[in-house]
Amino acid sequence: MKLSHLYRHSLLQAREQGVPDSAVKLLLAETLKLGNAELDTLPDKEIGADQQELWLQRLQRVLKGEPAQYIAQQAWFWGYALKVQPGVLIPRPETEGLVELMLPRLQPGMKVLDCCTGNGAIAIALSKLKPDIMVFATDISASAINLAIRNASLHSAAIKFYQCDLFPLAEHNFDIIVSNPPYISEAEYRNLDGVVRDYEPSEALLSGADGLHHITRILQEAPLHLKDGGLLYLEHGATQREAILKLADSTHWKLDYAGDDLAGFARYLVFSHHK
């Protein structure tokens, strides 16, 4: 069977089920060990029977709602292929914007903490893009930390990991703390797309009734771990900015930057703290 026929037929099936084209493209490219662009530039490539069988098995899984990244056991972040697995959140494209905001502010020798690291995406990107900084990362989940350590090893990224609840007891005086914490409210969680709600870990998404439990704790506790004048970078939910700004004001943070993601949703806040 030619690639063009397999690809076209798979897309039609996916669209009937409401599965996005991007999920099919990611998974088919990984299954056939091709680059995404090659799906369109090699239409006459013959696909062998074994690969067809493997693809049809995977296609049925994605049509039933399973995330393509979990099936492929891989997700991309800042151009780095990272391992993913059930029980650990899949990194999102909008989180790349958080890294982009940080890059101009990173200076050699800085200590940076990635709080709630998940599979290590932010920490690994920072370590690879700015190898002259010191990167630390935490997560409460043993599965997440073990996967992040594996990803860091695959990319030869020098990161010190801690399994703990937000902040490591052994490290202080960070120049920058960055976090993409859980920030989904209970009401939002009930209305999440089934691909997310049914497959991704609730503990990496849910943050109390209002979605602000983790961010509130970070705003309260981060000053104990930051240098005077240090910066805090946060990713947050699209409707949470006003509430977070009030929380930050009550805990003596100074707003440094507020920005939106590429879809136009309120997504990023940067604060400084002076003791």
User: Which tens digit of pLDDT belongs to each residue from 132-184?
Assistant: 999 999 999 999 999 999 999 999 999 999 999 999 998 889 999 999 999 99
Four-residue CA torsion sign, 196, 238, 15, 93: negative
d(CA 76, CA 188): 26
d(CA 165, CA 88): 16
In the chain, the domains with their CATH numbers are: 3-72 (1.10.8), 87-273 (3.40.50.150)
Q: How far is CA 237 from CA 6, 45, 69, 107, 268, in A?
A: 38, 43, 22, 29, 9
Averaged pLDDT of the chain: 95
d(CA 92, CA 150): 19
Q: What is the pLDDT of residue 216?
A: 97
Q: How confident is the model at residue 82 (pLDDT cuts 50, 70, 90)?
A: very high
pTM above 0.85, yes or no: yes
d(CA 222, CA 216): 10
Q: Which two tokens stand for residue 174?
A: 């960070």
Q: How far is CA 233 from CA 60, 98, 216, in A?
A: 39, 7, 14
Q: What is the pLDDT of residue 195?
A: 85
Does pLDDT of 275 surpass 80? no
Q: Which two tokens stand for residue 16?
A: 């009937």
Q: What is the pLDDT of residue 255?
A: 97
- Are the CB atoms for 112 and 121 separated by under 8 Å? no
d(CA 269, CA 43): 44
Beta sheet of 253-260, edge-to-edge order: 159-163, 134-139, 111-115, 174-179, 226-235, 266-273, 253-260
Cβ contacts of residue 257 below 8 Å, gap of 6+?
101, 268, 269, 270
Instruction: Kindly state the average pLDDT of the residues 102-129.
Output: 98
Q: Which two tokens stand for residue 110?
A: 């800085």
Q: How confident is the model at residue 105 (pLDDT cuts 50, 70, 90)?
A: very high
